[in-house]
Amino acid sequence: MSLASGASTLEVMEGAHRYNRWIYDRVRGALGQRVLEIGCGTGTITSFMVDRQLVVGIDVVDDYIRSTSHRFDDRPNIVVRRHDLTESIDALRGYRFDSALSVNVFEHIANDEGAMKAVYALLEPGGTFTLLVPCHPALLGGFDRDIGHHRRYTKRELRRKLEASGFTVERIRRSNPVGALGWLVNVRLLGLRRLRGTGLFDRLVPAFAVLDRVELPLGLSVIAVARKPVAG
């Protein structure tokens, strides 16, 4: 992964305030009070969860850890740690998470199934795991590879991997057909390799919201809500 490309994209997207709020509204429904956020980045999604009892945000990029720790240093309920889920999870076991959230992160993890199994192990029985990942392998292009994407998922693949990790998948659906069309044109057809601004994202939020009421065959993302069985 090009860290420069990834950081640049994250910084650009941080400015898409309405879009980021819309994304959070799409994934917050199953969150509890003790949340593990996998891939907290610069704290964009974290900022919507400051009312939770505890949010532990983890990432593997030192610059993100420093900036996000500083951003929330006045919030004792927000803990930011450098951690790789594919390594030992012992340092996270004491938090007793009732939910986990990951937005556009698992596509960056080579051993994504190993990371899913780690999330399963960290959740309390009955806990939920909500994740949003890029959809449609046919949309995979140079831009994906530049920012470190190993894959784009199908619903079937994501369900299979979650179930293989022990989860029961409660909901799974494609989301954001408008974004998928934009990605198809700009990334796959025109060869875009860098985001240039966020104004369009924010202007299109009303269209995203209307068209996302019904699941369509095309979607930029897949959103899944999975649960660790009470007897798990």
Q: Between these two residues, 210 and 174, which has the higher pLDDT value?
A: 174
Picking from 65-74, 115-124, 208-217, which range would have the lowest pLDDT averaged per residue?
208-217
pLDDT for 196 = 59
pLDDT tens digits, 74-92: 999 999 999 999 999 999 9
The pLDDT tens digits of the residues spanning 15-57 come to: 788 889 999 999 999 999 999 999 999 999 999 999 999 999 9
Confidence of residue 201 (pLDDT cuts 50, 70, 90): low
Confidence (pLDDT) at 170: 98
**pTM of the model as a whole:** 0.90
Of residues 67, 24, 14, 1, the one with CA closest to residue 195: 14
Domain ranges of the chain: 3-227
Fold of 3-227: Rossmann fold (3.40.50)
* pLDDT computed for residue 2 by the predictor: 42
pLDDT tens sequence across 154-196: 999 999 999 999 999 999 999 988 877 776 676 666 666 565 5
Return the minimum-mean-pLDDT range out of 2-16, 53-67, 68-82.
2-16
Q: Is the pLDDT of residue 8 over 90?
A: no
Q: Which residues pair with 134 in a beta bridge?
A: 221
User: For residues 136 and 124, what is the distance between their CA atoms, to the nearest angstrom?
Assistant: 32
- Contact present, 224 and 171 (Cβ < 8 Å): yes
**Confidence at residue 135, expressed as pLDDT on a 0 to 100 scale:** 93
